[in-house]
Structure 1
Amino acid sequence: MTTHDIHTIDTGFVRPCFDAAYLVVEHGRGAFIDCGTNHSVPRMLGALEHAGLTSADVDWLILTHVHLDHAGGAGELIAQLPNARLLVHPRGARHMIDPSALWAGASAVYGEAVMEREYGRLRPIPAERVVEARDGHEVDLAGRILRLLDTPGHARHHNAVHDTRANVCFTGDVFGLSYRDFDTTNGPFILPTTSPVQFDPEALHASIERLLALRPQAMHLTHYGRVDAVDRLAADLHVQIDAMVALARAAHGRPDRHVVLKDSLTDLYAARAEAHGWQQGRDALRQLLGMDIELNAQGLEVWLDR
């Protein structure tokens, strides 16, 4: 889908319409925002061809953050883009130059075999091609300004991207998850996403409000695609962040905390989805959101233990 020369790319990670990257085109120049995994690189290059660009026409690969569903393919993609530089939060830059710690941390959770299968081996990016994007950093894409905004809450190394011409934001994970599977006549359904080590509810509330203050026409989420009705979705996120924190506190200290928290999160999302007009039921919701519920439970537990 293309609006304002913004191309949504399905990276192919996990399932269709689960993980998006974006290509912004202005006067024959391109900037990618996020890139999926190594296995996504052919899709990224295919998007260039579809847009009438070549690999030499790309000036930037901009990462919202370095979690591997957003950035795992960055090294392989940059190697295919002779004129592009990587733009990343200062806290994430070293992990792109030397991804060994990133690989080791993820492998400790998932195992080497799963990492190889799902993400592919991470390729280092030469330091001279990496630019650190501090809060307010601006990219001039053939006269189109893309402004980077430090937006913690999901991760401390998270930037959102404000496209000032289209007046939309590319939100990575800070504006939650909204899969098209849950769309109803009431519009998109949304829920927050924590991360297993850096969830910060107060920072997440503040980051959402910071994006909302820009009065954007739409948000472009990694999971998944463009969503409108920004004010309503932001309100939904605020309510759920508080509800998730309350559920975590209620489960704290229990020996079966993780199981209890996963069940209570499932109940929360199922009730909200039903109220939103989604009629497929709790089991179908668990099938679609199982990975996200697991990660949210882990993120809340790490936050509790901190």
Structure 2
Amino acid sequence: MGAAKVERVDGGLYLVDLGPLDTYGWMATYVVTGTNALVVVDPGPRASADTLVKLLEGALSKFERVYVVLTHIHIDHSGAVGDIVRLLPGIKVLVHPKGVKHLVDPSRLWQSSLEVLGDLAKELGEPRPVPSEAIVP
């Protein structure tokens, strides 16, 4: 996997292309920074988790609060979140209440992803569970 490509969109809004599967221009994560908080919107698949973690490690000490916001739980949007919260403790995950059970136990989500996406799901990576205490429904 290559390095992340970060583009400042406006003010504290950044488009982050993590280049999952060594492809760029395919998926984007957004990072929003404020005075005391950093928000990651849709961190992408598990295949890009390490790249995003490396990018965030240096920035986290500058913020009192760090959140991951999930627009929905498909693995290309949320697959990295289990790794992120384990590697970067203290991050809170905001998700629709109906998505909580799929983050805590992603086994059904994973099986559905395999059925629909086949080998692409395997390349994107099987999501790891998110500890329930990290989730804010």
- The normalised TM-score by structure 1 is 0.39
Give the secondary-structure state (helix, strand or coil) at the position aligned to 2:59. Answer: coil
Residue 96 (1) aligns with residue 74 (2)? no
Within-5 A mapping of 1:140-159: none
Equivalent AA in structure 2 for residue 129 of structure 1? A
Question: What are the superposed Cα offsets for residues 263-288 of structure 1, whole Å, 9 maximum, x if unpaired?
Answer: xxxxxxxxxxxxxxxxxxxxxxxxxx
| RCO higher in structure (CA 8 A, sep ≥6) | 2
Change (3 A) 1:20 1:114: closer
Residue 59 (1) aligns with residue 59 (2)? no
Within-5 A mapping of 1:227-238: none
Contact kept, 8 Å, 1:45 with 1:55, in 2: the verdict is: no
Let me know the Cα RMSD of the aligned residues.
2.1
Residue equivalent to 1:138: none
Residue equivalent to 1:19: 27
Match of 2:51 among 39, 43, 55: 43
Q: Distance in 2 between matches of 1:121 and 1:91?
A: 20
Q: How many equivalent pairs are there?
A: 128
Match of 1:129 among 127, 130, 134: 134
Match of 1:106 among 113, 121, 129: 113
Equivalent AA in structure 2 for residue 115 of structure 1? A
Contact kept, 8 Å, 1:56 with 1:83, in 2: the verdict is: no
Point out where structure 1 has 5 or more consecutive residues left out of the alignment: 133-306
- The normalised TM-score by structure 2 is 0.81
Residue equivalent to 2:121: 115
Residue equivalent to 2:41: 33
Q: Percent identity?
A: 33
Residue equivalent to 2:85: 78
Equivalent AA in structure 1 for residue 55 of structure 2? A
Residue equivalent to 2:12: 5
Contact kept, 8 Å, 2:18 with 2:28, in 1: the verdict is: yes
Q: Distance in 2 between matches of 1:6 and 1:56?
A: 16
Contact kept, 8 Å, 2:46 with 2:125, in 1: the verdict is: yes
Shift of 1:55: 6.5
Q: Distance in 1 between matches of 2:54 and 2:87?
A: 12
